[in-house]
Amino acid sequence: MTAVAQSNSRNGNKEQALEVKAPAKNAHGRRTMWIWVGRAVLAIAVVGGWQWFTEEGWVDKFFFGQPSMIWDSLVKLFTEGTAFGTIWENLWVTVQEAFYGFLLGTLVGVVLGILLGSNRYLSAVIGPYIRIVNSIPRIVLGSIFIVAFGLGVFPKVLLAAVLVFFVVFFNAFQGVREVDQNLVANVRVLGASPLQVATHVTIPSAMTWIIASLHTAFGFAIIGALVAEVLGAQKGIGLIISQAQGTFDPNTVFACMVIIAVITLAAEYLISLLEHSLLKWRPPNRSEAQAI
Protein backbone atom coordinates (compact mmCIF):
# COMPACT_ATOMS: atom_id res chain seq x y z
CA MET A 1 0.00 0.00 0.00
CA THR A 2 2.65 2.45 1.09
CA ALA A 3 4.95 1.20 -1.65
CA VAL A 4 2.30 1.96 -4.22
CA ALA A 5 1.69 5.36 -2.75
CA GLN A 6 5.40 6.02 -2.79
CA SER A 7 5.87 4.95 -6.36
CA ASN A 8 2.87 7.04 -7.31
CA SER A 9 4.28 10.09 -5.67
CA ARG A 10 7.66 9.41 -7.25
CA ASN A 11 6.08 9.20 -10.69
CA GLY A 12 4.22 12.37 -9.84
CA ASN A 13 7.49 14.05 -8.97
CA LYS A 14 9.07 12.94 -12.20
CA GLU A 15 6.19 14.23 -14.25
CA GLN A 16 6.26 17.42 -12.35
CA ALA A 17 9.98 17.76 -12.95
CA LEU A 18 9.46 17.22 -16.66
CA GLU A 19 6.62 19.70 -16.71
CA VAL A 20 8.80 22.31 -15.10
CA LYS A 21 11.90 21.48 -17.10
CA ALA A 22 10.48 21.59 -20.62
CA PRO A 23 9.04 25.11 -20.49
CA ALA A 24 12.16 26.33 -18.70
CA LYS A 25 14.29 24.96 -21.51
CA ASN A 26 12.05 26.52 -24.12
CA ALA A 27 12.16 29.86 -22.36
CA HIS A 28 15.93 29.67 -22.21
CA GLY A 29 16.15 28.84 -25.92
CA ARG A 30 13.82 31.70 -26.85
CA ARG A 31 15.83 34.11 -24.76
CA THR A 32 19.13 33.08 -26.41
CA MET A 33 17.57 33.38 -29.85
CA TRP A 34 16.32 36.91 -29.19
CA ILE A 35 19.70 37.95 -27.87
CA TRP A 36 21.33 36.81 -31.12
CA VAL A 37 18.66 38.52 -33.19
CA GLY A 38 19.32 41.75 -31.30
CA ARG A 39 23.05 41.44 -31.84
CA ALA A 40 22.65 40.82 -35.56
CA VAL A 41 20.29 43.78 -35.93
CA LEU A 42 22.71 46.05 -34.08
CA ALA A 43 25.67 44.97 -36.24
CA ILE A 44 23.71 45.40 -39.47
CA ALA A 45 22.45 48.82 -38.38
CA VAL A 46 25.93 50.11 -37.52
CA VAL A 47 27.90 48.64 -40.44
CA GLY A 48 25.04 49.08 -42.92
CA GLY A 49 24.44 52.63 -41.74
CA TRP A 50 28.10 53.41 -42.19
CA GLN A 51 28.09 51.96 -45.68
CA TRP A 52 24.88 53.81 -46.58
CA PHE A 53 25.93 57.20 -45.18
CA THR A 54 29.29 57.11 -46.95
CA GLU A 55 27.70 55.83 -50.17
CA GLU A 56 25.20 58.70 -50.18
CA GLY A 57 28.01 61.12 -49.46
CA TRP A 58 26.54 62.39 -46.14
CA VAL A 59 29.80 61.29 -44.57
CA ASP A 60 33.00 61.63 -46.56
CA LYS A 61 34.46 58.21 -47.26
CA PHE A 62 37.78 59.82 -48.04
CA PHE A 63 38.20 60.54 -44.33
CA PHE A 64 36.08 57.94 -42.65
CA GLY A 65 36.46 54.92 -44.92
CA GLN A 66 33.70 52.59 -45.96
CA PRO A 67 32.98 49.02 -44.80
CA SER A 68 33.12 47.56 -48.31
CA MET A 69 36.41 49.29 -48.99
CA ILE A 70 37.78 48.17 -45.64
CA TRP A 71 36.94 44.64 -46.70
CA ASP A 72 38.74 45.23 -49.99
CA SER A 73 41.86 46.46 -48.29
CA LEU A 74 41.71 43.53 -45.85
CA VAL A 75 41.64 41.16 -48.83
CA LYS A 76 44.45 43.13 -50.44
CA LEU A 77 46.55 43.01 -47.27
CA PHE A 78 46.26 39.23 -47.13
CA THR A 79 46.64 38.51 -50.86
CA GLU A 80 49.10 41.10 -52.09
CA GLY A 81 50.86 41.89 -48.85
CA THR A 82 52.33 45.27 -48.00
CA ALA A 83 55.36 47.33 -48.92
CA PHE A 84 57.12 45.73 -45.94
CA GLY A 85 56.50 42.06 -46.72
CA THR A 86 53.44 39.89 -46.19
CA ILE A 87 50.82 40.79 -43.60
CA TRP A 88 51.68 37.60 -41.72
CA GLU A 89 55.29 38.69 -41.22
CA ASN A 90 54.21 42.07 -39.93
CA LEU A 91 51.49 40.64 -37.73
CA TRP A 92 53.94 38.14 -36.28
CA VAL A 93 56.35 40.95 -35.37
CA THR A 94 53.63 42.94 -33.61
CA VAL A 95 52.24 39.93 -31.77
CA GLN A 96 55.71 38.96 -30.62
CA GLU A 97 56.42 42.45 -29.33
CA ALA A 98 53.12 42.60 -27.51
CA PHE A 99 53.55 39.11 -26.09
CA TYR A 100 57.09 39.64 -24.78
CA GLY A 101 56.10 43.03 -23.44
CA PHE A 102 53.12 41.45 -21.73
CA LEU A 103 55.31 38.75 -20.16
CA LEU A 104 58.00 41.15 -19.02
CA GLY A 105 55.55 43.70 -17.65
CA THR A 106 53.49 41.07 -15.86
CA LEU A 107 56.53 39.41 -14.35
CA VAL A 108 58.04 42.63 -13.01
CA GLY A 109 54.62 43.90 -11.92
CA VAL A 110 53.78 40.75 -9.98
CA VAL A 111 57.18 40.49 -8.30
CA LEU A 112 57.34 44.17 -7.32
CA GLY A 113 53.67 44.26 -6.36
CA ILE A 114 54.01 41.31 -4.02
CA LEU A 115 57.30 42.58 -2.61
CA LEU A 116 56.00 46.07 -1.88
CA GLY A 117 52.64 44.76 -0.75
CA SER A 118 54.19 42.57 1.90
CA ASN A 119 56.92 44.95 3.05
CA ARG A 120 55.76 48.18 4.66
CA TYR A 121 59.20 49.81 4.62
CA LEU A 122 59.79 49.17 0.93
CA SER A 123 56.31 50.36 0.02
CA ALA A 124 56.79 53.54 2.04
CA VAL A 125 60.10 54.25 0.30
CA ILE A 126 59.24 53.29 -3.28
CA GLY A 127 55.47 53.94 -3.24
CA PRO A 128 55.56 57.69 -3.97
CA TYR A 129 57.95 57.23 -6.91
CA ILE A 130 55.73 54.62 -8.48
CA ARG A 131 52.82 57.02 -8.16
CA ILE A 132 54.87 59.78 -9.78
CA VAL A 133 55.91 57.57 -12.69
CA ASN A 134 52.31 56.40 -13.00
CA SER A 135 51.12 59.96 -13.39
CA ILE A 136 53.44 60.87 -16.27
CA PRO A 137 52.21 60.12 -19.81
CA ARG A 138 54.15 56.93 -20.24
CA ILE A 139 53.35 56.55 -23.92
CA VAL A 140 55.88 59.32 -24.58
CA LEU A 141 58.59 57.03 -23.24
CA GLY A 142 58.24 55.28 -26.61
CA SER A 143 60.12 58.13 -28.30
CA ILE A 144 62.95 57.84 -25.80
CA PHE A 145 63.15 54.06 -26.17
CA ILE A 146 63.32 54.35 -29.95
CA VAL A 147 66.05 57.01 -29.79
CA ALA A 148 67.97 54.91 -27.31
CA PHE A 149 67.47 51.41 -28.70
CA GLY A 150 66.83 51.92 -32.41
CA LEU A 151 64.11 50.67 -34.71
CA GLY A 152 64.24 46.99 -33.71
CA VAL A 153 61.89 44.90 -31.61
CA PHE A 154 63.36 45.73 -28.21
CA PRO A 155 62.02 49.30 -27.70
CA LYS A 156 58.50 48.07 -28.59
CA VAL A 157 58.73 45.28 -26.05
CA LEU A 158 59.90 47.82 -23.52
CA LEU A 159 57.04 50.25 -24.12
CA ALA A 160 54.46 47.46 -23.99
CA ALA A 161 56.05 46.20 -20.76
CA VAL A 162 55.93 49.65 -19.16
CA LEU A 163 52.23 49.99 -19.92
CA VAL A 164 51.48 46.48 -18.67
CA PHE A 165 53.59 46.87 -15.56
CA PHE A 166 51.46 49.52 -13.87
CA VAL A 167 48.18 47.72 -14.41
CA VAL A 168 49.54 44.47 -12.99
CA PHE A 169 51.59 46.10 -10.27
CA PHE A 170 48.72 47.98 -8.65
CA ASN A 171 46.53 44.90 -8.68
CA ALA A 172 49.21 42.63 -7.23
CA PHE A 173 49.93 45.23 -4.56
CA GLN A 174 46.28 45.57 -3.61
CA GLY A 175 45.82 41.81 -3.75
CA VAL A 176 48.57 41.29 -1.19
CA ARG A 177 47.08 43.97 1.04
CA GLU A 178 43.68 42.26 0.97
CA VAL A 179 44.99 38.93 2.25
CA ASP A 180 42.90 37.54 5.10
CA GLN A 181 44.99 38.22 8.21
CA ASN A 182 43.35 35.28 9.98
CA LEU A 183 44.86 32.96 7.38
CA VAL A 184 48.28 34.51 7.85
CA ALA A 185 48.03 34.23 11.64
CA ASN A 186 46.88 30.65 11.29
CA VAL A 187 49.85 29.45 9.22
CA ARG A 188 52.30 31.48 11.29
CA VAL A 189 51.13 29.76 14.43
CA LEU A 190 51.49 26.42 12.65
CA GLY A 191 55.14 27.32 12.15
CA ALA A 192 55.28 28.73 8.61
CA SER A 193 58.40 30.63 7.56
CA PRO A 194 57.96 34.00 5.79
CA LEU A 195 58.60 32.23 2.48
CA GLN A 196 55.93 29.64 3.27
CA VAL A 197 53.48 32.40 4.19
CA ALA A 198 54.15 33.93 0.76
CA THR A 199 53.79 30.71 -1.24
CA HIS A 200 50.84 29.27 0.67
CA VAL A 201 48.84 32.38 1.51
CA THR A 202 49.92 35.68 -0.01
CA ILE A 203 50.54 34.68 -3.62
CA PRO A 204 47.52 32.39 -4.12
CA SER A 205 45.30 34.97 -2.50
CA ALA A 206 46.67 37.83 -4.63
CA MET A 207 46.26 35.64 -7.72
CA THR A 208 42.58 36.56 -8.06
CA TRP A 209 43.52 40.22 -8.34
CA ILE A 210 46.49 39.62 -10.63
CA ILE A 211 44.53 37.52 -13.09
CA ALA A 212 41.74 40.09 -13.19
CA SER A 213 44.33 42.65 -14.28
CA LEU A 214 45.70 40.46 -17.08
CA HIS A 215 42.61 41.06 -19.24
CA THR A 216 43.25 44.79 -19.31
CA ALA A 217 47.00 44.27 -19.41
CA PHE A 218 47.04 42.47 -22.75
CA GLY A 219 45.13 45.31 -24.34
CA PHE A 220 47.79 47.67 -23.05
CA ALA A 221 50.57 45.45 -24.40
CA ILE A 222 49.07 45.68 -27.90
CA ILE A 223 48.67 49.45 -27.59
CA GLY A 224 52.30 49.79 -26.47
CA ALA A 225 53.61 47.71 -29.36
CA LEU A 226 51.48 49.53 -31.94
CA VAL A 227 52.30 53.03 -30.74
CA ALA A 228 56.02 52.25 -30.65
CA GLU A 229 55.76 50.94 -34.19
CA VAL A 230 53.96 54.06 -35.36
CA LEU A 231 56.76 56.10 -33.78
CA GLY A 232 59.40 54.25 -35.76
CA ALA A 233 59.82 50.69 -36.98
CA GLN A 234 60.97 48.51 -39.85
CA LYS A 235 58.13 46.03 -39.61
CA GLY A 236 54.81 45.62 -37.88
CA ILE A 237 51.13 46.52 -38.03
CA GLY A 238 51.88 49.92 -36.51
CA LEU A 239 54.17 50.69 -39.43
CA ILE A 240 51.43 49.75 -41.93
CA ILE A 241 49.03 52.03 -40.06
CA SER A 242 51.51 54.88 -40.04
CA GLN A 243 52.17 54.44 -43.75
CA ALA A 244 48.44 54.28 -44.55
CA GLN A 245 48.00 57.50 -42.64
CA GLY A 246 50.71 59.08 -44.79
CA THR A 247 48.89 58.07 -47.98
CA PHE A 248 45.43 59.18 -46.76
CA ASP A 249 44.12 55.63 -46.72
CA PRO A 250 41.70 55.26 -43.79
CA ASN A 251 40.48 51.89 -45.07
CA THR A 252 43.82 50.22 -44.45
CA VAL A 253 43.95 51.76 -40.97
CA PHE A 254 40.52 50.28 -40.22
CA ALA A 255 41.59 46.95 -41.72
CA CYS A 256 44.59 46.87 -39.36
CA MET A 257 42.27 47.66 -36.46
CA VAL A 258 40.11 44.69 -37.39
CA ILE A 259 43.14 42.39 -37.50
CA ILE A 260 44.37 43.60 -34.10
CA ALA A 261 40.90 43.26 -32.61
CA VAL A 262 40.81 39.60 -33.66
CA ILE A 263 44.23 39.01 -32.09
CA THR A 264 43.20 40.71 -28.84
CA LEU A 265 39.97 38.73 -28.63
CA ALA A 266 41.92 35.51 -29.11
CA ALA A 267 44.37 36.51 -26.36
CA GLU A 268 41.46 37.42 -24.11
CA TYR A 269 40.00 33.97 -24.67
CA LEU A 270 43.31 32.32 -23.72
CA ILE A 271 43.53 34.43 -20.57
CA SER A 272 39.99 33.40 -19.65
CA LEU A 273 41.03 29.76 -20.01
CA LEU A 274 43.99 30.41 -17.73
CA GLU A 275 41.69 32.15 -15.27
CA HIS A 276 39.31 29.22 -15.17
CA SER A 277 42.04 26.68 -14.57
CA LEU A 278 43.82 28.74 -11.90
CA LEU A 279 40.72 29.94 -10.10
CA LYS A 280 38.62 26.80 -10.28
CA TRP A 281 38.34 26.89 -6.49
CA ARG A 282 36.19 30.00 -6.66
CA PRO A 283 32.46 29.67 -6.00
CA PRO A 284 30.52 30.27 -9.21
CA ASN A 285 29.64 33.92 -9.41
CA ARG A 286 25.94 34.52 -9.90
CA SER A 287 26.36 37.62 -12.00
CA GLU A 288 29.07 35.88 -14.02
CA ALA A 289 26.79 32.92 -14.68
CA GLN A 290 23.94 35.06 -15.92
CA ALA A 291 25.77 37.82 -17.73
CA ILE A 292 26.14 37.59 -21.52
Partner 1 sequence: MGVNHPQRPPADGAADDAARIEIKGLTKRYLTPKGETFTAIRDVTVTVEPGQFCSIVGPTGCGKSTTLAQVSGLEKPSAGSVKVGSHIVDGITSGVSYMFQADALFPWKTVLGNVMMGPVLVGTPKREATALARDWLRRVGLAGFEDRYPHQLSGGMRKRVAMAAALINNPRILLMDEPFGALDVQTKAIMQNELLKLWEELRPSVLFITHDLDEAVALSDRVVIMTSSPGSVKDVFDVDLPRPRGNVQEIRHEERFLDLQGRIWESLKDEVTRAYQRTAGAAA
The CA-atom distances, in angstroms, between 195 and each of 26, 174, 199, 204 are 54, 19, 6, 13
Pick 126 or 183: Cβ nearer partner 1: 183
Q: Quick check: 76 binds partner 1 (CB under 8 A)?
A: no
CB 240 within 8 A of CB 257: no
* 5 binding partner 1? (CB under 8 A): no
> Does residue 177 touch partner 1 according to CB under 8 A?
no
Interface pick for partner 1 out of 57, 137, 246, 283 (rule CB under 8 A): 283
197 three-state secondary structure: helix
Stretch that binds partner 1, among 72-80, 85-93, 108-116, 176-184 (CB under 8 A): 176-184
Cβ 112 to partner 1 shortest distance, Å: 23
* Rounded (to 5) percent helix, strand, coil in the chain: 85, 0, 15
CB of 223 to partner 1, least distance (A): 32
Task: Considering the complex, state which of residue 163 and residue 201 has its C-beta at the smaller distance from partner 1.
Answer: 201
191 binding partner 1? (CB under 8 A): yes
Among 115, 139, 151, 187, binds partner 1 (CB under 8 A): 187
Select the residue interacting with partner 1 from 138, 188, 253, 268 (CB under 8 A): 188
Binding segment for partner 1 (CB under 8 A), chosen from 45-53, 67-75, 196-204, 224-232, is 196-204
User: Considering beta carbons, is residue 119 or 193 the nearer one to partner 1?
Assistant: 193
Q: Interacting stretch for partner 1, rule CB under 8 A, among 18-26, 168-176, 184-192, 251-259?
A: 184-192
Site for partner 1 in 123-142 (CB under 8 A): none
- Find the shortest distance in angstroms from Cβ 282 to partner 1: 7
Give the 3-state secondary structure of the chain.
CHHHHHHHHHHHHHHHHHHHHHHHHHHHHHHHHHHHHHHHHHHHHHHHHHHHHHHHCCCCHHHHCCHHHHHHHHHHHHHCCECCECHHHHHHHHHHHHHHHHHHHHHHHHHHHHHHHHCHHHHHHHHHHHHHHHHCCHHHHHHHHHHHHCCCCHHHHHHHHHHHHHHHHHHHHHHHHCCCHHHHHHHHHCCCCHHHHHHHHHHHHHHHHHHHHHHHHHHHHHHHHHHHHHHCCCCCHHHHHHHHHHCCCHHHHHHHHHHHHHHHHHHHHHHHHHHHHHCCCCCCCHHHHHCC
- Shortest reach from residue 196's CB to partner 1, in Å: 6
Site for partner 1 in 198-237 (CB under 8 A): 200-201, 204-205, 207
Smaller CB separation from partner 1, 81 or 204 = 204
- Considering the rule CB under 8 A, would residue 115 count as an interface residue with partner 1? no
Binding stretches for partner 1 (CB under 8 A): 180, 182-183, 185-192, 196, 200-201, 204-205, 207, 279, 281-283
